[in-house]
Structure 1
């Protein structure tokens, strides 16, 4: 990672966020984030020299390197612009998906929040498929992130293996290769599949994979390795998580982003279905829930419009009083303080909030339902994640 890295602009915390974050006077664990470098083999790499302003887009906060003389884009810029508009219908802004985001950036944001980072979990992020699947991402994270930070960042690595188009033998071989890296813990194989009329993206071409014998045979291999499974689906698919959890009770599942119930902030029917399905999922003892995923598709465009990548953005209280705060409170009530843990989902959630305000919003939401003890805060912001992913935290020797 020798590329020069411009720092993100800092802003002071709101008074209530500063107060809330002071309660986290221990090393926290960020249970869900991504890192990116615009030269990595990921989808954003084709935008390395894309002229954002020429096509009516805001330039990235971190300037891209200039195109060399005679540069020919791998994909025509016009097609890239069209694709970008489609992506932004979900992500809201390219600032949250295409800026370089390195360990130093994450640590700067944590410092701006007024807390210390004891460890983190990196989630797979669209690495190019190679002969051994996405093994290259795990290798990069172990050697270029985990090792240089002495395990402070990417303490745990969640990679991916294709559970639909492989055989169990191939899945077994790929997991064995991933587990050669000490920080590797399991996989996320995204189930998120759109429905007609939904303002979202399809991340898996097939729906109802829990009824697909091939997927189920491959999923079963996870148990052989003691690998955990990160589940990201849409709200209307949460029942599929219930099916998986019951069919494979020995495979631990971490639900990502509350199941991303599309437009929950504007549709009472969406909220009621989400509540019903989360209630059923919470009855499965092998399922934990990540408190994460402050994203535009929930119906939170009002936060996106404040442009937190260039301003102080919404306050922690704004977030805690929104539908997102309600989701936090409801989820913790359902799953309990022993099966929930914090994840920033940065840089993606930067589209709607700054790190420190987002972190504090969880503290405020928990306060609103009477969860204020140091023991409970340590569980949600540190211990539960460390337990779920079996992490060795960077500050353990100092405690």
Structure 2
């Protein structure tokens, strides 16, 4: 049975800050942000958007009535959860009006969560071929103003519909995994901002990539020549390039040129959104599919997922015939074109707006947020979500 990605879409907030201007405000040479880490714009989530609304908006853009009826499993990968008990998936299920006879759960392992969700989805569909599974990767990356990690923040979500006989990509069965208990990045339960040992995390990202890549090659017999492109989890776009460069000498000059050229396509969305944690790898994949118009059906795409703490996985997919007919390129182009730049001063104000933590009720102004689905406030310790079209 062929199982894989039937639909894929993303959503990001309507606000962003220019990384050149942020660098100037932080007394940093702009090239350190735009070239050194490879970021140009950073999406900013207003207080009316959280991990739930970002994911719901991403899914809203791709699901039709038939999908909503057939989806019987929603798996939400995030490290920006809004409740320690109720899963973010249940909120999205309600906001989208999905089939009530469904299982809804939230999974967590740093930026690896959506990949774990996809593997869970494949198992479910193998047992229930008529089912569809909605996989969500949604996060808001927060390190704090004037911190070392500030330039690698971002916000957004990717939604993937996983099914049998998928229209876009068949996910191959071979994969390679590696886990080690390390402290390269973490966010204690009491903190709304992450902590990171940046140099160590970069080293581990590359180390894990090399371990899973070598194991994958041994299991499958594949090499660089068998891949049209390799997509990476991108906390910042230079990170994936650093990992790719460590294996390029294993191929020919033609392999090197092809993989480097296609990496440029795969990083474009990410460099204009920033880090979205669990959705980052799949935003990279989506960028490649949307922007590289001559990718041929039958092409094998490699996928490297890394979640700090840490879990790494390498797996692959094969593009289906006529896959481009099932992409949402125009929708994604419109999303980027409709965004509004804010000044660094405005960004700092927006970043500093937070919900009360003492149980105080609050009503939020959602008219300024163009998203269909918004957070409208908190009442009785309960977040109040609004789907403007329902």
Same-fold call, TM > 0.5? no
Higher RCO (CA-CA < 8 Å; seq separation 6+): 2
Output the TM-score relative to the length of structure 1: 0.30
| TM-score, normalised via structure 2 length | 0.30
**Structure (1/2) with the larger helix percentage:** 1
